[in-house]
Amino acid sequence: MLDPELGLKGVSLRAPELPPLAPLDLEVGRGEHVALLEAGDGAAFTLLRIAAGFERPDIGRVIFAGRDLTDRPPADRPTRWVPTGLALFATATVLDNLAFALPAEIAERRERRARALDLLARHGLAGLAERRPNTLAPTEAARVALLRALAGRPAVLLLDRPFLGAPVGERRALRDAFDAMRRDAPCAVLERCDDPREALAHADRVALFEADRLLQLDTPDRIWSHPASPAAAVLAGEADLLPGRLLGLDGGFARVETPIGEVRGVLREVVAPGEAVVVGFRPERVDLTEAAAADPRLGVRFEADFVERRLEGAAVRLVFTVGGQRLVVSRPERGLRGLALAGRTALAVEADDVWIHRAPRRPS
């Protein structure tokens, strides 16, 4: 990556009051949006605070556009921070909140207010100008907080789950509004995100964390289709995982003995025959139609017992059991026509859609 806006070089921190962070490198390019995903408050939370300057790493450096600002406080960094609670000035109007955040070179109060009102109007928020934060709906407050952060023209915007308080049904529109704000005021974004679907849909790259370490940093497509480990697969979204034992290689694919039968798939790391592995695939990659056993693309064909169907908006979630394993299948929702799932159902997965990883070692 050329000229990253933010570079975290070998940073690590262990402090009593914070989740530990193992040494890592992470860069955010100019205009790039990197989302941090983890379960709960962990290493990603600590990493974001180091980038903001609220914490100093035990080791490593924090670089902004080539300048080492590791020892500089938040006020001396080209960043703006938007926390989960949004932190708007409670006693100030929306207009004054925005005017305060504008760059310091706009000195005259009347001009600051005029520019702030213009920003609100451009993003459909002019009607909120004289309101105070405690009168705003959660989505309105989030839009104001994000616009205020961008009004100061930061090089890097640091987001700590600011979308968390918005109603689920309104978050897609809120995300779209934020993307429009960024087009108006381009900057790099480092965001700790609570929803994998939103991270995959809106970020340029996604960083997956487990406990104190970074599991994977990659594009959304690769995170979804080529997770670096079983833990990474689950962090990014629902996955079907099966225990197995590697039998060997066959025509570029690995063969694995599993509770649902022999499975062929892509070996994602070096594993010796006989070793324990985990086989995984995404629920939408499972085919409900019959597949020919001789099809060279076939990873596995098996029959499973249908358990339940649940409607999830545009998708239908189907649950099956086979060999003591519970498997989820996701299909587009097309109404009840043609739905005749009962008893044994034939399922198949292509070999290219199956990942095979070494089984996690149990703690001794």
Residue 338: is its pLDDT beyond 60?
Answer: no
Reduced to 3 states (helix: H, G, I; strand: E, B; else coil), residue 68 is strand
pLDDT of amino acid 133: 95
Calpha distance 140→150 (Å, rounded)? 16
**pLDDT tens per residue across span 218-233:** 999 999 999 999 999 9
Amino acid present at 79 = T
Contacts of 362 (CB under 8 A, 6+ apart): none
* Owner of token pair 């070179």: 105
Residue 2: is its pLDDT beyond 70?
Answer: no
**pLDDT tens per residue across span 241-281:** 999 999 999 878 999 999 999 999 999 999 999 999 999 99
pLDDT classification of 344: cutoffs 50, 70, 90: confident
**pLDDT tens per residue across span 42-72:** 999 999 999 999 999 999 999 999 999 999 9
* Token code pair at residue 116: 């702030």
Domain 6-230 has CATH 3.40.1390.20: no
pLDDT of amino acid 1: 53
Domain ranges (residues) in the chain = 6-230, 238-358
* Token code pair at residue 214: 């970074």
Q: How large is the average pLDDT for residues 142-169?
A: 95
**pLDDT tens per residue across span 115-144:** 999 999 999 999 999 999 999 999 999 999
Residue 323: is its pLDDT beyond 60?
Answer: yes
Amino acid present at 107 = A
Q: What DSSP state is assigned to residue 363? A: P
Cα atoms in the 13 Å half-sphere on the side-chain side of 64: 22
If one looks up domain 238-358 in CATH, what number appears?
A: 2.40.50.100
pLDDT of amino acid 296: 76
Across 168-199, b (16+ Cβ under 10 Å) vs e yields eebbeebbebbeebbeeeebbbbbbbbbbebb
* Owner of token pair 């451009």: 122
CA dihedral over 118, 96, 150, 170, signed as positive or negative: negative
- Which of 72, 33, 28, 67 shows the shortest CA–CA distance to 50? 72
- The dihedrals phi and psi of 114, each to the nearest 5 degrees, come to -65, -45
**pLDDT tens per residue across span 87-110:** 999 999 999 999 999 988 887 888
Residue 290: is its pLDDT beyond 90?
Answer: no
pLDDT classification of 342: cutoffs 50, 70, 90: low
